[in-house]
């Protein structure tokens, strides 16, 4: 059982708390912060295009937690290294634009 306790302790060390904000200017765009309201961690080049941000979620992240659109390990790594993680909507190719679906 010592091994099981060690795995549990390791997962707790990898766990992290995040505060999630929704961009009012960019649809389906969310900013995760490692500290509540710590917008100073985000470079202006990233933060300013998002416009006003509305707090939407206080969440505990752990390697075994599933997120709808993001890889939780990437989010945790970005929060640890940068202090923030930006979740943007998936790019949708326009079939009428070169390189889009049906081009060729």
DSSP result, the chain = -HHHHHHHHHHHHH-EEEEEEEESSSTT-EEEESSTT-GGGS-HHHHGGG-SEEEEEEEEE-TT---SSS-HHHHHHHHHHTSEEEE-PPP---TTSTTSTT--
Provide the number of structural domains found in the chain.
1
Comparison of pLDDT for 51 and 6, the residue scoring more: 51
pTM of this prediction? 0.75
pLDDT digit string, tens, across residues 19-71: 999 999 999 999 999 999 999 999 999 999 999 999 999 999 998 888 888 99
Flag whether 3 is in a domain.
no
Residue 102 in domain: no
What CATH number is given to the structural domain containing 55? 3.10.510.20
1 pLDDT higher than 70:
no
User: Which residue range is the domain that position 22 belongs to?
Assistant: 14-87
Q: What is the reported pLDDT for 35? A: 96
Question: Does residue 36 lie in a domain region?
Answer: yes
Domain membership flag for residue 66: yes
Residue 31 lies in a domain: yes
Residue 91 reports pLDDT greater than 90? no
pLDDT band at residue 99, thresholds of 50, 70 and 90? low
């Amino acid at each position: 059982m010592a091994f099981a306790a060690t795995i549990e302790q390791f997962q707790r060390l990898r766990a992290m708390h995040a505060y999630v904000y929704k961009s009012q200017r960019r649809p389906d765009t969310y900013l995760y912060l490692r500290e509540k309201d710590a917008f100073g961690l985000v470079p202006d080049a990233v933060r300013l295009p998002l416009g006003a941000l509305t707090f939407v979620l206080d969440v505990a992240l752990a390697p075994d937690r599933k997120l709808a659109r993001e890889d939780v390990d990437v989010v945790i790594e970005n929060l640890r290294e940068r202090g923030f993680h930006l979740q943007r909507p998936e790019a949708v190719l326009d079939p009428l634009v070169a390189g889009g679906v049906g081009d060729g």
